[in-house]
Amino acid sequence: MPPIEVLVIAPLVILTAYVIFGISGFGSTIIAVPLLAHLYPIKFVIPMVVTLDCIGAISMGLRLRADVDRRELVPLLPFLAVGLLIGALLLLRLPAELLLGGLGVIVVGYGLLYASGRQPRVRVGRWAAPPVGIFAGTTSSMFGVGGPIYVMYLTARGSTAEQIRATVPVIFIFTTIARIAIFFAAGLFTLEVLYTAAALLPVMVLGMWLGHHLHLSLTREQLVRIIGALLVASGTSLVIRAASS
């Protein structure tokens, strides 16, 4: 039987992560992965959360498909594919302690940006699709934290909040299916990964349902600050853990 902390904490983490996903259209992996990495090896967490993300992204992408910003989506996809392959290779080759520390630093950085309440106001041209796509794909495969990068890119391209909320899950559909295929080929999927994902699936569905109904109850500023606080706390804990390993 799994330890009690796994039985209690893992469902709470998944519930919180997918409430946020249901509200904003992103944020599930960047919340879930750092926290679950305290309970499971990171090379177990990434494919398990990817499985849940794939189901959640398909559900949300279909529901919001009318608002998808196709003009920004299509140029990004080929470069995401390249980054996903690079990230999967690094995930397989790098030691777990280095991965944990890198994840912690990235998550703290995102958390401080969100907690500050400052949103980038820059505008970028279509030229940004290749570097952003490759970087986002790489971090998605390695850490499962591509969501904020997609949001910042779409914001800098002038997409509306509704378009971003609808487009990011469609990006997740592409990236999660691609990562599942890559991780299967690399041998990262095990029966334990699939069983754990199946056990947490009802919690994910509940979280998305709650998030969808809370969508109109929270302002974007409130949500951003909540995400920021969670990220700073979880990222800091990962950096400390990696340094002490």
Q: Bigger pLDDT: 176 or 222?
A: 176
- How far apart CA 204 and CA 28 sit, in angstroms, is 10
CB 147 within 8 A of CB 29: yes
Q: Half-sphere exposure of 29 toward its Cβ, with a 13 Å CA cutoff?
A: 33
Between CA 109 and CA 101 the distance in angstroms is 12
What whole-number distance in Å separates Cα of residue 135 and Cα of residue 86? 9
Question: 135-159, pLDDT tens digit by residue?
Answer: 888 988 887 777 778 878 888 888 8
Output the six-digit token pair for 107: 């998550």
Phi, psi angle pair for 26, to nearest 5°: -155, 180
pTM of the model: 0.74
pLDDT digits (tens, 9 = 90+) for 18-63: 888 887 766 677 788 888 888 888 889 888 988 888 888 787 777 7
Is residue 1 over pLDDT 90?
no
Token pair, residue 235, equals 């990222």
User: Per residue in 154-207, pLDDT tens?
Assistant: 888 888 877 887 888 888 888 888 888 888 888 888 888 889 999 999 999 999
Q: Is the pLDDT of residue 103 over 90?
A: no
Helices marked H in the chain — which ranges?
A: 4-24, 28-36, 42-63, 70-93, 96-116, 129-143, 147-156, 161-186, 191-214, 220-244
Residue 86: per-residue pLDDT: 92
Would you state the pLDDT for residue 97?
76
Nearest Cα to 208, choosing from 8, 46, 27, 5?
Answer: 27
Range in 176-180, 215-219, 240-244 the model is least confident about: 215-219
Overall domain count for the chain: 1
Structural domain span for residue 190: 4-244
Burial class (CB in 10 A: 0-12, 13-18, 19+), 55: middle
Confidence of residue 78 (pLDDT cuts 50, 70, 90): very high
Q: Please say if the pLDDT value at position 9 is more than 90.
A: no
